[in-house]
Structures are given as structure tokens and as C-alpha cells.
Structure 1
Amino acid sequence: MKNRTYDVIIIGGGIMGASTAYHLMKADASLKVIVIERDQSYERASTTLSMVNARIQFSLKENVQISQYAFKVLENFEDEMAVDGVKPAIFYRREGNLFLYDEKTESPARRAFEMQKELGCAIEWWSPDTIKKRYPIYENLDGIVGGTFGPEDGHFDAYAVLMGYRAKAKSMGAEFIQDDVVELLTDKDIMDSSSTGQKGHVNKIQGVKTATGDIYNSSAVVNCTGAWAASLLATAGIKIPVNPVKRQVFAVSPEFKLDSPLPLTVLPSGFYFRTETGGLLLLGKSMDDDPEGFDFTWEEERFELLWGELYEFAPIFESLKLIKGWAGLYAVNRLDANAILGEWPELGGLYLANGFSGHGLQQGPAVGRYMTELILKQKHILDLSIFSPERIIEKRAIFEDGIV
């Protein structure tokens, strides 16, 4: 049985864990950092199963600023993450995002649009006529009063970005291992197991225990376990309202072939689609009856619902061939669908980067930097304290206003 000590333990090696490891090593190369990931194939990681998107179209200022930083990182990512002259290829495509609004969603969308402009974002308000002119195949705009187009929004290869962060962090000295953390260890655990049998109050993290029985000690532990976050925190008596929810994506080949890519287009119903390489379309939608739990089976019958909505909006896609589909997990924060970032108030040294509710991939760069600043007590470049865990205890929600 191993018993080792580290400056920082990161649980979960997806985008949040890998980004945090990279930023820690960049800030202080002398740190002893370990990332413990249950499956280094990332077969079921939300990072790699994402439909992948980066956008500034949020109504919460801090979410917009997080994405602004992500844009800068992605623009230079391949050069910054080069290891021994080898650069990752992330295929960053800025094909835009188009959000469509009806009368019900127009007012909050216009407020968000003005805020985004004030922050210096590339954002445009399109009338229905402009939408029809730019994308004539969008034939049915009944009920659509306008849309916002972010020309710098886009998508990229999520696996390549993850591997880029991981490889760079390892080259800088971070250690990555495969194991399953099954318990958070606190000062209470140590006192309870002492020869005196004295009971202690839980107020500081001491380390973690894995499924193999190994103990890793540290006064700084970061929970980056995504959809598994709540179950791990429960081992230390901590409850957060984060549930694993299945989301599905379908890749189809339309009989009608496009001359140029379509932006990620989001209808007021929440249905979305975009083009993908190889002449494919990707379709998705979060639904009220999406099941909770660790279920990765994809249901072909769901495709019929999505196809019907696409056909109604753009009848030119009447004939589609289903190529494949897949299911991944959103770590849904049931309080307000926003991230939980920071040190848990009742357990010193335990840091949470959880509850991203589908926005996590694009928030990885800023979150990794922010967690590093918290752990090392550095001044924040971007203040993200609005997402602090205190609001979970106080049930103080912060909502996006009318934007998916």
C-alpha cells in the first residue's frame, strides 16, 4: 500500500483537472502535483463526449468573461502547449453561433446582447430578414423575432485540447496516475483512528484514499470529478446539488449537401445543430425527461424527435441518414446550472470545480487558472467569487437570464 504526500492532489483528469495541473505547474514549477483519474482512456469523460462549443453568448457577465479568456487561450493553444517541438492539433473552427429568439425570450436576449457589447465581444443582432438572407435554408422563422450571431464562437477537438493540457502539465512535472478515489480523508479520520480514540471536528482536508487502498496526503485537494462529484464529496459528509444527467448527440448525413458550414444554431426550444466535418450534421437537445444516473446508452428513438424539429425549421433536410449517436453526462447543478468554484467553507483545503451543467469544456482554461490562484493565494486575474460554494450552503442562486 502506498502512502505519499503531495502539495496538491487533483481528483479527475478531464479538462478541469488537466487545466488546473498545467496552471499550477506554470505558476510554481517546484510544486509536487498529482492528478488521479479513474480511467485514462477517457471513454466516458464528459470532456471527450461533448459536442464541443466555445461562445461568449451568456447573460451572466462572469460567464462571458470566462469565454473571452478561453478564446484567447484557444487562439494560441497549439504553440503554448508544444512539448519538445510537438504541437497538438486542436482544429479550432470559428464558424459562429446563432441563437434564435421568440417574443418570450427577446427581452433578456437584448439585455445580454448589450452587456456583451459593453464587454467588447464580437456580437451581432440579426433581424429575421438578415437570418433568412444569410441562411436561406432556414425557411421557417415563424415566431422568430431575431437572433444573436457570435462570429468568433466556434468549436474544436476536445480530446486534443485535453491531451494538450495533460502532456504539457506532465512535461512540467505534474504526475498523472490511473486509480479511483473512493474517500476524502479529513482531520476527523486521523483523530478517530488514533490510539487515543479522541474525536475531532471535521475542518481540514488531509488527503484521499483510492480503490487500491493507497493513501495520498495533502492539505490541498481539488475535486474535478464532473458528474461523479457529489458521490465523492458525500464521503466527507458534504452535499451539493449536482446530479449526473444523460445528454445525447446524433450525427446524421443529409441528402442535401451544403456549400459552406452552418453555425451552431440554437432554436428557442433549446434544439441545436451544427455542421461537422465530412458533410455531417450534429443534432442535440436537453429534454426535461433526460434521465439521471450513470447511463451511457444512446436511444435511437430520440433521434426521431430531433429530426422532426429540424425538418420543421429547415425542410431541405427532409432526408437524413443516421450515422451514429452517443450519450455523455452533464454534471447539472440543480440550484442554478452554474459552476461551483472555490474552497468548501466547512472543510479547509478542499477545493471544488464542479456543477458546470454543460458549459465546462469552454470554461476549463479560466477555471484552471482561478483554482491555481485560490490554492496559491494569488491575486485573481478574473474574479469568479460569484460562483463560490457559499451560495450552495445558503441556497443563493445565480441564473442565466433566458439563454441556454
Structure 2
Amino acid sequence: MSDIKSYDVVIIGGAVIGSATAYFLAANPDFNGSVLVIERDPTYAKSATALSSSSIRHQFSNEINIKISQYGSEFIKSFNDYCAVDGDVPELGFQENGYLYMVSEKDRAILTENYQQQVALGSEMALLTPEQIEQRFPWINAQGVAAGCLGLSGEGWFDSFGLLQGFRKKARSLGVTYIHDEVVGLTRNDDKIERVHLASGEVINCGYVLNAAGTRASKVCEMADLSIPVVPRKRCIFVFDCREKVADKMPAIIDPTGIFCRPEGRYFLSTLEPTPDPDVDFNDFDVIHSEFEERIWLPLAERVPAFEAIKVVNSWAGHYDYNTLDHNAIIGPHTHVKNFLFANGYSGHGLQQSPAVGRGLAELITYGEYRSLDLSPLGYERIATQTPFLEKLII
């Protein structure tokens, strides 16, 4: 088997999580190993990265998720400095307009508690009454809203595909190898993954294997007789035009109904949480057009009266890699197979968490520990013991 290639780190999946990890490994002067990224679709056309709503927020309840997003904001703002290649400077167009998270009376205490936690950790937030919401945003009808939390910095939206391509291009310039192929098998010897088998027939010897396969993460686990509770769930996104001007600077809004809406250039983008049925085919990207008419438009028009006269101009469907245990990411080594690393189950938060996760996994591989930010609360141990790590007011 002397002709078999060997890599210190093999990353399965080259979208934003895999490419972020590849970048942070290659950029770390203390890491001297080789990195291979295997991507089944180098166009990334159906990746969660490309089909996401491209947003970042600090409004979580758990300290680790807040800190992950705080670093994400810092990294995105300085992305040009980190990922320029030969004078080619990537531009992510970060629109730092904030999130306005509105809740009804039943969730006011939780929103207030979350706000206090976010502020204590250094995020800039404003807790608003319904009256203050309408004063600050006169285009909003705050009827039925008990309170709102507004991010004053670090929250907004950006070019998700630009983030992915920036990570990928920089990683390749630093020596990371990318190949277009698909993993079809893993050779496991008790507590170690020894080889990765590709559809092309090639076999790769590996030090570490990182599962960054998105919605196909469970299939990769099965190749090693492992399992995680991650399934694909469909989310439809609608872009619409509005006859009236709404605001010069509009934040992303989360309505008490769960509707998400933000500006998208001269248009607006809106979506709901994924459909409740977890049995979504990996290749099912058909838009559920009735969702906009039946579930989004009327509640959204009640919240923003200007949206009574709108027209859908574009739509697409994407998939969450949905962690059915607790909707939070699974990051780090398996409890028994130590060289098999998870980076899965983000449930819609992978894009914004990619800088901190990529950095953390690179530290774990290089030093055997997290150094910048302890990601162990998101480790596999809770999956093994079925102990959920839950967010409050998650969307």
C-alpha cells in the first residue's frame, strides 16, 4: 500500500465549516501537518452555506453560543485582513443593522434574562418596550409584542458565499489540498479511523478525520459504526418586493410568530423555521410556495403594514443539518474514537459559528485542547449520555 496517500487531517465536506477549519489549521504556525478537504460538489450550489439567510446575531441564551457569535462578528469585520490572497481582498458587505427580536408576554422573562446575559458578556443590546419599538421603528406595529431586544453592534447579514470562498481560497494558498470526490467508506480499527475510501477508488490514510458533511453527517458516521441525531430539514426562503419604502436602515426582525425578515438589497428576505417533518430527502430542494401565502404574508403584514402590498420575486429551499436532541452544534472528538471529530448539527447557525468553530477545531488538532474558547459544552459527550444542551428562544 505504498502508493496510498496520507494526510494528517482529512476533512469531509468543504463548505464553510470544513473550509474554516482548513484555513485555521493552515494559518497556525504551530501546525506543520498536511490537510486534505474532500468535497462532493465543488459548486456548493446546494450547500447550507450558499442557501442560508446569511446572518449573524449575538442573541442566544448560552454563554458559549454568545461568545462564538461575538468572535464571528469580529472575524467577519476583519475578514479582509485574514483572507486576502496576492492582493485580492474579499469583501463580505457586512450590513451591521442588528436584530430586533420581539416576543409576546409568555417569553418576556426569558428575553430579559437573555438580554442580561448578553450584556454581561459584552454585547451591545437595547431592551425595548412596545412603545419604544414603535418610537424607534415607526413602520412597526407592536400590537401583541411585550418586549424586544435590539442588537446595537455585531449583528446583521453578509455575503455567505464570499465567506466560504474566502476561507477556501486562503486555505489553498497556504497549502491545503482540495479534491472533488465523495467519501464512501471509512476503515475503523476499534478506537481509530485509519483510512478514508473515496468513490473514485482512491484510499487515503489519515491522522484525524473531521466530519463536516452537513446534512449527510449521519451517513458519514454510519461508515464508522457511529451515530449522531442529525437529519436534514427543509427551510424555504422568499425574497419579495414592496411597493412602499419601509426604512432607510432596517434591522433583521424576528416576530413572535417565528417569522424572520430582513432587507436584501432593494428587496426583503423572509423565512420560517424548517418544516416539522424530519424525513426530507437529501436532494429535495423544491420550494413550498404555499408557505409564504399561508404562513408568512398575513402575520408579516400585520407587523409591518407596508408589507400589505408585496410581490415575491425569488425563492429557494435549503436544508438545516438539524440536531434533534437539542438544536445545538456537535463539536469535537467522539468519546471512544478519538481521531474522529464532529462539526455537525448546527441547526441553522453554522455560517455564523464557522470562524469560532474552525479556530477551535484547529486548536484541538494542533494542541490537543481548546485555547481561545472552550467549546467542550458542545462536545459529543452530551449526545452519548442523551443530555440536551438547550437554548432558550432558539430560532
TM-score, with normalisation over the residues of structure 2? 0.95
Give the structure 2 partner of residue 88 of structure 1: 90
Q: Which residue of 1 aligns with 2:341?
A: 351
* Per-residue deviation, residues 157-212 of structure 1 (Å, max 9, x unmatched): 0001100000111010001111111112212xxxxxxxxxxxxxx21111211111
Deviations 1:1-37 (A, max 9, x none): 9721001100100111000001111114632101000
For 1:260 and 1:290, the matched residues in 2 are separated by 38
Deviates further, 266-275 or 255-264: 255-264
> Which position in structure 2 is the counterpart of 1:206?
194
1:75 CA displacement: 1.1
Number of the residue aligned with 1:234: 222
Q: Does 1:338 align with 2:328?
A: yes
Amino acid at match of 1:59: S
Aligned to 1:195: none
Contact persistence 2:331–2:380 (CA under 8 A): yes
CA contact (8 A) 1:98 1:147 kept: yes
**2:21 corresponds to 1:34:** no
Assess if the C-alpha contact under 8 Å between 1:247 and 1:290 holds in 2.
no
Match of 2:257 in 1: 269
SS in 1 for 2:362: helix
For residues 213-362 of structure 1, what are the structure 2 equivalents within 5 Å? 213-277=201-265, 279-290=266-277, 292-293=279-280, 294=282, 295-304=284-293, 305-362=295-352
| Structure 2 residues not aligned, in runs of 5+ | none
Cα distance in 1 between the residues matched to 2:370 and 2:317: 39
When residues 16 and 148 of structure 1 are mapped into structure 2, their CA distance, relative to the original with a 3 A threshold, is: same
Superposed CA offset, 1:321-342 (max 9, x none): 1101000110110000001011
Deviations for 1:233-282, whole angstroms, at most 9, x for unmatched residues? 111111111000001100000111234132110012211101110x2010
Residues 1:175 and 2:177 aligned together? yes
**Residue segments in structure 1 that go unaligned for 5+ positions in a row:** 188-201
Task: Name the aligned partner's letter for residue 118 of structure 2.
Answer: Q
1:117 deviation in Å?
0.9
The 5 Å alignment of 1:175-194 reads 175-187=177-189
CA distance in 2, matches of 1:104, 1:213: 56
Question: What aligned pairs does 1:41-80 form with structure 2 within 5 A after superposition?
Answer: 41-80=43-82
Q: Distance in 2 between matches of 1:250 and 1:396?
A: 35
- Indicate the residue corresponding to 2:357 in structure 1: 367
AA partner of residue 297 (structure 1): D
AA aligned to 2:228 is: I
Amino acid at match of 1:102: S
In structure 2, relative to structure 1, the CA distance for the partners of 1:111 and 1:337 (3 Å cut) is same
1:92-122 Cα shifts (integer Å, max 9, x gaps):
1101100001111111111111111111111
Task: Quote the Cα distance in structure 2 between the aligned partners of 1:134 and 1:396.
Answer: 41
Normalising by the residue count of structure 1, what TM-score does the alignment of the two structures yield? Answer: 0.93
The DSSP-based 3-state class of the residue aligned with 1:219 is strand
For the 8 Å contact 1:243–1:333, the answer to whether it is kept is yes
Distance 1:403 1:180 in 2: 33
In 2, Cα distance between the equivalents of 1:345 and 1:147?
40
- TM-superposed CA distance for 1:291, in Å, is 5.2
Cα distance in 1 between the residues matched to 2:287 and 2:393? 28
The equivalent position to 1:394 in structure 2, one of 381, 385, 388, is 385
Asked if structure 2 preserves the Cα contact closer than 8 Å seen for 1:252 and 1:320, the reply is yes
Kindly tell me the number of residue pairs found equivalent between the two proteins.
388
Deviation beyond 6 Å, 4+ runs, structure 1: none
1:379, 1:389 → 2: CA distance?
15
| AA matched with 2:317 | A
